[in-house]
Amino acid sequence: MTEEIADWTKGAEAIVYQGCKTCGARQYFRRSFCAACGSTELTENRASGAGKVYATSLVCRAATPETRAHVPYNIVLVDTAEGFRMMAHGDNDLAIGDEVNARFTQFAGRLVPYFAKAK
């Protein structure tokens, strides 16, 4: 397996996915093997940040003091240009089908990916 690239879950400004050298599958949740075929021959890749909105939900009721400070915040599922789906934050007015690009922002003390409409 190639060396791990730090991504936003580790505090680095990057969205990372794995590609399988054996079957070509792509996966977003990091594992030491390919969930499609079991191969341990994986590549680590940086995603471009481009994608399309698949679903949205504007959270208006949060459950912790840290997250309540951000209410309302938009949770989005984005289908990335690289072909995997991810959860992130986004502009409150994003609609399904919007073409978006990622940047990063602080949320409840952590770095999170944030999508806005592509210009």
Residues lying near other proteins in the complex (CB under 8 A) are found at 9, 28-29, 54-64, 67, 70, 72-73, 75-77, 85-89, 96-97, 107-108, 110, 112
CA nearest 115: which of 27, 25, 47, 31?
Answer: 47
In angstroms, give the least distance from the CB of 3 to other proteins. Answer: 19
Closest CB 9 distance from other proteins, rounded Å = 4
Q: Which is nearer to other proteins, 46 or 119 (CB)?
A: 46
Considering the complex, state which of residue 23 and residue 36 has its C-beta at the smaller distance from other proteins. Answer: 36
Nearest in space to 91 (alpha carbons), one of 111, 118, 68: 118
- Smallest distance, other proteins to C-beta of residue 16, A: 11
CB of 12 to other proteins, least distance (A): 13
DSSP labels for 53-71? Answer: EEEEEEE---SSHHHHTT-
- Residue among 87 and 119 whose Cβ is closer to other proteins: 87
The set of residues, in sequence order, having a beta carbon less than 8 Å from that of 12 and lying 6+ positions away, is: 5, 6, 111
What φ, ψ does residue 92 adopt, rounded to 5°? -65, -20
Nearer to other proteins, 21 or 110 (CB): 110
Closest residue by Cα to residue 18 from 9, 58, 3: 3
